């Protein structure tokens, strides 16, 4: 284990830092660099405790009676100390990997900070991932310990028990009766009853902090290696681009295994002195917005799409006058936004805004808690119509862009420099330029250390001058980045997850039932597929319940892909795609966009009933 410091102040050990800090004291903070704030993510946590020990850090719903419980920073520190010493008792040493397979909750922070402060490396896992994919990640990263929630996760891992040979310990938050794995222990027992001191190891800021697995073009995920400095710098740089205001409250609902939520909704909020409230579930998000009254949130476009769909559905049941009043509110609100952005002249219609705000906008915003100062959207493209609606109603939606490989944020719109059709301006210290084939290249302190155990993949994406090749095509206009396409065919789902359609199509076509296949789902909640069936297999396939039968047929064909790469609906195409009908290139490659346009009605049917 790295050298552990035990400088105790107020019952807590920390590395002394005499630096300015963002807090709620009312004082005017200076603009410190990340190294002045803290040089590691564990140092950030301890410094926050020292600065604001009695401030509410996290809010979580516990128990069946939906009781919301607060934890101060002091209480978080006390709990993290218990987790630290439990890790030490396992004999783990600096650099060992530990995995977290939890929904968003305080325990995610307990293990994350306990590990980071001791120099361990955290590997986040998606709770809904397939067992074989989880086993692959744990084996590839040589994970020593996994934290799970309870029975459900235990059953998933039980199916790959033999493959998790390198895992020494499974810790469950909830007690599991009659466990079949002697490595499994309940967290309550594992932690013990002592209240030890909080420790901070002497960790190199450039050392590995986390390995985040992201899907690769071969279907197997690649482990993105991020250092303490990578993530700490990115959180600090992003913080310079937003105005948290007084008493900020973040609502956290994107999974913390997603680097976007982890850096912005977790580390940035810690740096900025915000309280983080964990949503109970996506299904209860509407209720939680009203209960928590957040001032900010990090989201993917899918969430805005759901809220937008509910608004539109509600308007359809109202009289024509109410619909026209809503449209007028959005129109005047958008004009007001453009005026404040100095992109249009003042108009007498703006005088209507106070009345329209009170009659319409405030009522809609009340459904989002009524105190939202801004929302950051990323992970996928946000529809211009949806952005216009929310901005017109008075919610500043700031769209950004980044990659897991860049910790992740590269650019974001600012409140007073917001071009919603763009993904914003570069963060401080980020260099962006357009390379060959209009590819967006990036260089910044947040660029990853490389891919775990994959030097070739690292060399493929980071050139010898340190430029990371994003694979996205872009234009930079007046300092704002506009994403225009992709060099490689990658589908980005509405939740921000990325899947390689060409590789999936190859896997599907290995089955003799299928002649041709096109996977779709850009910006959609799930994947669909257009299928050209093998005419010689039609008798075997049959005609009864064909779509459902074909969906089931696809499941084993896609086992090597991440758990979120599931095709949920399919449509059968009668005529094959050929060079003659201009749906194939002369080299027999699919003309993806042309095929989609040719079969637009079938594609639309795949998402009928889903926004």
Q: pLDDT tens for residues 199-209?
A: 999 999 999 99
pLDDT of res. 215: 64
**Residue (of 87, 79, 74) closest to 11 by Cα position:** 74
First CA to last CA distance, the chain: 50
Query: Are 67 and 192 members of one domain?
Result: yes
Do 444 and 301 sit in the same domain of this protein? Answer: yes
User: How far is the C-alpha of 116 from the C-alpha of 122, rounded, in Å?
Assistant: 7
CATH number for position 142: 3.40.50.12780
CB atoms within 10 A of CB 425: 22
Q: Which residues in 366-377 are b (16+ Cβ under 10 Å) and which e?
A: eebbebbbbbbb
Domain-ending residue, one of 137, 172, 205: 205
Helices vs strands, H then E, count in the chain: 22, 30
Say if 407 falls within a structural domain. yes
Closest CA to 438 of 470, 406, 400: 470
Q: How does DSSP assign 324-342, residue by residue?
A: HHHHHHHHHHHHHHHHHTT
Residue 279 lies in a domain: no
Q: Do 357 and 442 belong to one domain?
A: yes
Domain final residue pick, 205, 228, 258: 205
| Residue 110, number of CB atoms within 10 A of its CB | 24
Q: Same domain, yes or no, for 453 and 503?
A: no
Residues 139 and 200 in one domain: yes
227 lies in a domain? no
Phi and psi of 184, rounded to 5°? -85, 135
Per-residue model confidence (pLDDT) at position 585: 64
Does residue 243 belong to any structural domain of this protein? no
Residue 24 lies in a domain: no
Identify the DSSP state of 535: G
Provide the pLDDT for residue 319. 94
Predicted pLDDT of residue 543: 65
Task: Write out residues in the chain with pLDDT < 70, as ranges.
Answer: 1-37, 64-65, 215-219, 543-545, 585-588, 610-611
Tell me, yes or no, whether 501 and 428 share the same domain: no
Distances (CA, A) of 119 to 1, 210, 266, 610: 8, 10, 19, 44
Beta bridge partners of 443: 431
- The answer to whether 491 and 499 are in contact (CB under 8 A) is yes
Q: Does the residue 578 lie in any domain?
A: yes
- Could you tell me the residue range of the domain that residue 509 belongs to? 491-606
Of the three residues 486, 507, 527, the one that is the final residue of a domain is 486
Do 477 and 589 have their domain in common?
Answer: no
| pLDDT at residue 282, as a whole number | 84
- Per-residue burial over 284-307, b = 16 or more CB atoms within 10 Å of its CB, e = otherwise: ebeebbebbbbbbbbbbbbbbbbb
Q: How many domains does the chain have?
A: 3
Query: Of 346, 338, 341, which Cα lies nearest the Cα of 417?
Result: 341
> Do both 523 and 474 map to the same domain?
no
CB 304 within 8 A of CB 386: yes
Does 408 share its domain with 382?
Answer: yes
Cβ atoms within 10 Å of 209's Cβ, excluding its own? 26
Q: Please tell me whether residues 395 and 495 are part of one structural domain.
A: no
DSSP 536: G
Report the pLDDT value the prediction gives residue 539, as an integer from 0 to 100.
82
pLDDT at position 3 is 43
Q: Is residue 259 part of a domain?
A: no
Same domain as 107, residue 91: yes
In a domain, 516, yes or no: yes
Using a cut of 0.85, tell me whether the model's pTM lies above it. no
Residues 516 and 414 in one domain: no
pLDDT of residue 345: 95
Burial (CB < 10 A; 0-12, 13-18, 19+), residue 607, is: middle
């Amino acid at each position: 284990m790295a050298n552990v410091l035990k400088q105790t102040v107020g019952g807590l050990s920390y590395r002394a830092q005499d630096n300015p800090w963002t807090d709620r004291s009312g004082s005017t903070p200076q603009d410190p660099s990340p190294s002045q704030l803290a040089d590691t993510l564990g140092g950030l946590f301890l410094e926050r405790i020292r600065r604001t020990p009695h401030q509410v850090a996290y809010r979580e719903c516990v128990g069946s009676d939906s009781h919301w419980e607060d934890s101060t920073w002091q209480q978080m520190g006390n709990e993290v100390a218990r987790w630290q010493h439990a890790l030490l008792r396992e004999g783990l040493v600096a650099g060992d990997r530990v995995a977290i397979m939890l929904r968003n909750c305080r325990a995610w922070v307990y293990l994350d900070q306990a590990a980071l402060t001791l120099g361990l490396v955290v590997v986040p896992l998606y709770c809904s991932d397939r067992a074989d994919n989880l086993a692959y990640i744990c084996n590839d990263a040589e994970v020593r310990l996994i934290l799970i929630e309870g029975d459900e996760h235990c059953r998933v891992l039980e199916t790959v028990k033999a493959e998790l040979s390198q895992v020494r310990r499974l810790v469950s938050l909830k007690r599991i009766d009659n466990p079949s794995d002697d490595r499994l222990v309940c967290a309550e027992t594992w932690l013990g009853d002592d209240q030890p001191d909080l420790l901070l190891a002497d960790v190199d800021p450039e050392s590995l902090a986390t390995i985040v697995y992201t899907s690769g073009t071969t279907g197997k995920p690649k482990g993105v290696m991020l250092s303490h400095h990578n993530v700490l710098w990115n959180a600090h740089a992003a913080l310079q681009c937003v105005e948290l205001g007084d008493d900020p409250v973040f609502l956290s609902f994107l999974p913390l295994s997603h680097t976007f939520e982890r850096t912005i909704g977790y580390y940035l909020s810690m740096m900025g002195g915000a309280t983080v409230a964990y949503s109970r579930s996506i299904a209860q998000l509407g209720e939680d917005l009203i209960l928590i009254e957040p001032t900010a949130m990090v989201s993917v476009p899918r969430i805005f799409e759901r809220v937008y769909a509910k608004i539109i559905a509600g308007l359809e049941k109202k009289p024509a006058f109410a619909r026209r009043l809503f449209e007028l509110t959005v129109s005047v609100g958008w004009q007001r936004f453009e005026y404040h952005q100095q992109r249009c002249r003042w108009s007498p219609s703006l005088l209507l805004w106070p009345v329209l705000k009170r009659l319409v906008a405030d009522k809609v915003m009340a459904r989002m808690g009524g105190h939202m100062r801004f929302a950051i959207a990323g992970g996928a493209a946000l529809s211009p119509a949806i952005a216009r609606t929310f901005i017109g109603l008075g919610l500043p939606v700031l769209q950004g862009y980044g990659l897991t490989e860049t910790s992740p944020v590269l650019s974001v719109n600012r409140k007073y420099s917001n071009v919603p059709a763009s993904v914003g301006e570069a963060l401080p210290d980020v260099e962006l330029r357009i390379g060959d084939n209009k590819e967006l290249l990036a260089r910044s302190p947040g660029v990853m250390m490389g891919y775990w155990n994959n030097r070739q993949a690292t060399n493929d994406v980071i050139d010898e001058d340190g430029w990371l090749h994003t694979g996205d095509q872009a234009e930079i206009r007046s300092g704002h980045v506009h994403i225009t396409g992709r060099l490689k065919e990658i589908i980005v789902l509405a939740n921000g997850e990325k899947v390689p359609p060409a590789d999936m199509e190859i896997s599907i076509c290995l089955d003799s039932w299928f002649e041709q296949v096109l996977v779709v789902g850009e910006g959609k909640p799930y994947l669909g597929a257009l299928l050209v069936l093998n005419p010689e297999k039609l008798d075997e396939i049959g005609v009864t319940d064909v779509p459902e039968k074909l969906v089931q047929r696809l499941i084993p064909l896609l086992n090597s892909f991440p758990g979120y790469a599931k095709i949920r609906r399919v449509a059968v195409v009668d005529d094959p795609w050929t060079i003659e009908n201009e749906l194939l290139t002369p080299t027999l490659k699919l003309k993806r966009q042309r095929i989609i346009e040719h079969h637009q009605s079938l594609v639309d049917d795949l998402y009928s009933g889903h926004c």
